[in-house]
Structure 1
Amino acid sequence: MLSHWTQHDIEINGVQLHYYRTGHGEKRPFVLVHGFSDSGLCWTPTARDLESEYDVIMPDMRGHGLSARVHPGETVDMAADVAELIRSLGLECPIVGGHSMGAMISFHVGVRFSNLISALILEDPPWWFSQSEHALNSDPAENPIAKWAKTLPNQTFEELLTQYRQDNPGWPDEMVRLMVEAKKQLDPAIIDMMVDVLRVLGPTWQTGIQQIVQPMLLIAANPELGGIVTPEVAASVRELNPHVTTVTIPDAGHLIRFDRYAAFMDALRAFLKQV
Structure 2
Amino acid sequence: MGALVSASMFGVRGRTGQLAWYRTDEAVADVAFLHGFSDSAQCWVPLLTAMPGVRALAIDARGHGESGLPEEPVGYDGQSGDAALVLSGQPRDGGVVVVGHSMGAMSAAYLAASRPDLVRAVVLEDPPTGERPAGQKNEHHDEEPGTVPRWLADLRALDLPARIARGRAEDPGWPEDELEPWAVSKPQVNAHLFELPFQPPSPLTDLLAAITCPVLLIHGDTERGSLISTEYAERCARAAAGEFRAVQIAGAGHSVHRDNRAQYVAELTAFLDRHR
Cα separation, 2, equivalents of 1:237 and 1:145:
32
Q: Measure how far apart 1:211 and its partner are.
A: 1.1
Name the CA shift for 1:139/1:247 in 2 (closer, same or farther; >3 Å): closer
Q: Measure how far apart 1:139 and its partner are.
A: 6.7
CA contact (8 A) 1:22 1:47 kept: no
Counterpart of 1:244, as a letter, is F
Counterpart of 1:42, as a letter, is C
> Are 1:127 and 2:132 matched, yes or no?
no
Q: What secondary structure does 2:45 align onto?
A: helix
Q: Measure how far apart 1:117 and its partner are.
A: 1.0
Cα separation, 1, equivalents of 2:9 and 2:141:
44
User: How does the TM-score come out when normalised to structure 2?
Assistant: 0.86
In the other structure, the counterpart of 1:211 is 210
State, as a whole percentage, how many aligned pairs show the same letter. 26
CA contact (8 A) 1:97 1:106 kept: yes
In the other structure, the counterpart of 2:191 is 188
> Are 1:65 and 2:68 matched, yes or no?
no
Counterpart of 1:89, as a letter, is Q
Cα separation, 2, equivalents of 1:78 and 1:126:
15
Q: Which range is displaced more, 118-127 or 236-245?
A: 236-245
Cα separation, 1, equivalents of 2:73 and 2:117:
27
CA contact (8 A) 2:220 2:252 kept: yes
Name the CA shift for 1:75/1:227 in 2 (closer, same or farther; >3 Å): closer
User: How does the TM-score come out when normalised to structure 1?
Assistant: 0.86
CA contact (8 A) 1:111 1:208 kept: yes
What are structure 2's unaligned runs of at least 5 residues? 1-5
How many residues are aligned here?
A: 263
In the other structure, the counterpart of 2:250 is 250
Q: Measure how far apart 1:108 and its partner are.
A: 0.5
Q: Measure how far apart 1:217 and its partner are.
A: 0.3
Q: Measure how far apart 1:151 and its partner are.
A: 2.9
Report Cα offsets for 1:97-156 as digits up to 9, x if no partner. Answer: 11000001001001111121100001000114x5557557x9752489823223333222
Task: Choose from 10, 16, 20 the match for 1:5.
Answer: 10
> Are 1:273 and 2:273 matched, yes or no?
yes
In the other structure, the counterpart of 2:3 is none
> Higher helix proportion, which one?
1
Alignment root-mean-square deviation, CA: 2.5
Name the CA shift for 1:192/1:124 in 2 (closer, same or farther; >3 Å): farther
